[in-house]
Chain A
Amino acid sequence: MSNDPHHHHDHDHEHGQDVPSPTALRVKALESLLVDKGLVDPAALDAIVDAYETKIGPRNGARVVARAWTDPAYKARLLADATAAIEEIDFPAADRPHMIAVENTPDVHNLVVCTLCSCYPWTLLGLPPVWYKSSAYRSRAVIDPRGVLREFGTTLGDDVAVHVWDSTAEVRYLVVPERPAGTEGLDEDALVALVTRDSMVGVVKLAATNGAAP
């Protein structure tokens, strides 16, 4: 099985006129078999896919960050015990992993990676994007974080310390980005829309003009 040929961009074509890809057919065969054996309920599979696509995403993490920006006591609790502080916020369909929140300041920039696989705070940020799981990011984030940041358009002075967090255990890291200048008048709900996924991984800083980017 593991020696079968695969193609790098092996998307299936069920929405087009082409026949399904070999990978899509292989998945269909495995699912049919596991259902036939009673090991997997297809309706449970549907429910999981729907939850990932509609209920779990970076808005959850953005809510945590926006609250930290507007409520100093909450921020203090978040930085001291993120697992408990995140528990205070009611999310739909979200696991509660063991969490650590790390704060960006003018002097410190935090960056999160998983060099060994793809560990990511998905309950707060959604499933990880392809770039986070890529060999390029995983290999270089620890040895050349400033070069990686430059690829994301983030240039830091030599006097700013870069702290990289390699997620080697069941502890997940959330970066609390700096609150952009010019947002002093915004309330928590308005700030949620400014906080991007990428800023909570630590690859970008936020500008006041950011829209609801990824």
Chain B
Amino acid sequence: MNGVHDMGGMHGLGPIVYDPNEPVFHASWEGRVRGMVQLIAAWGLVNIDAGRHSLERLPPVDYLRWTYFEKWLAALTNRMLDAGQITAEELANGRRADGTAVATPPITGAMGAALLASVHTYTRDIAAKPLYADGDRVRARTINPEGHTRLPRYARGRFGVVTRYHGAHVYPDTNAHFAGEAPQPLYTVRFTARELWGEAANAADTVSLDLWEDYLERA
């Protein structure tokens, strides 16, 4: 979707604010939100792509003004409501409605830390051979899907060169909508800064993106 989250190349978003003494979590609730998202993911109620899509669909004004973990909180809450796991009334009360079932958590106690240590791989074996090889010239397609995509607007329609093949990876454009992993070849594609931003850019500079095969066409 052409959302405010797709901000590569935008101007006017201010200076970079640097805190040399930044804590891991600014308040304890930030850590609870981070942990809850990971534990809910263990249920399969959210996946990495669906979680990102929930963030992208926050109201643009809120997306820009909220802190990072405020966005995570809203996205998690919206996801649990959308999935029918909780109701607005339960949320207001902080407890489940009378007579509803109690589940058994799949991840308990110290398993939480082990969850972080477990391997989350998004590489999959597929029969199809990759269409492109290192050095091939490609063009990022001009697409404007209303759903989730990882092809930023600033690269659409631009010409680049394949520099690395990563194997087949889970396709976010379907996985975000719980429509299957649909793994397909993933490549690093290098674009010159001048191709993306014009002649004012330094001739030596480049920007590389990791792009799935469906995002590309031969050029």
A interface list, Cβ under 8 A from B: 1-3, 6, 8-12, 14, 21, 23-24, 26-34, 36-41, 43-53, 55-56, 92-98, 100, 113, 115-118, 126-127, 129-131, 133-143, 145-146, 148, 151-152, 158-171, 213-214
Contacts and interface: CB of A to CB of B under 8 A. Distances in A.
Contacts of A135: 7, 10, 13-14, 64
A53 B112 contact: no
Contacts of B55: 117
A137 B7 CA distance: 10
B74 A2 contact: yes
Task: Specify which of A1, A44, A129, A134 lies most central, judged by the most chain B CB atoms within 10 Å of its CB.
Answer: A44
Interface in B180-219: 186, 188, 193, 196-197, 202, 204-212
A40 B40 contact: yes
Contacts of B24: 52-53, 126-127
A46 B115 CA distance: 12
Shortest 9 CB-CB contacts between residues of A and residues of B: A115-B8, A44-B112, A47-B112, A169-B210, A38-B103, A161-B204, A49-B31, A48-B35, A27-B29
14 contacts: A33-B94, A33-B95, A34-B80, A41-B112, A48-B35, A48-B39, A94-B117, A115-B152, A116-B8, A127-B24, A142-B207, A162-B206, A170-B48, A171-B186
Interface string B156-178: 00000000101001101000000
Given A14-B28, A166-B209, A8 B67 contact: yes
Interface string B20-42: 10101111110111111011100
B186 A26 contact: no
B113 A51 contact: yes
A136 B152 contact: no
B107 A41 contact: yes
Contacts of A140: 10-11, 13, 16
Contacts of A92: 117
B112 A43 contact: yes
B119 interface: yes
Contacts of A8: 65-67
B129 interface: no
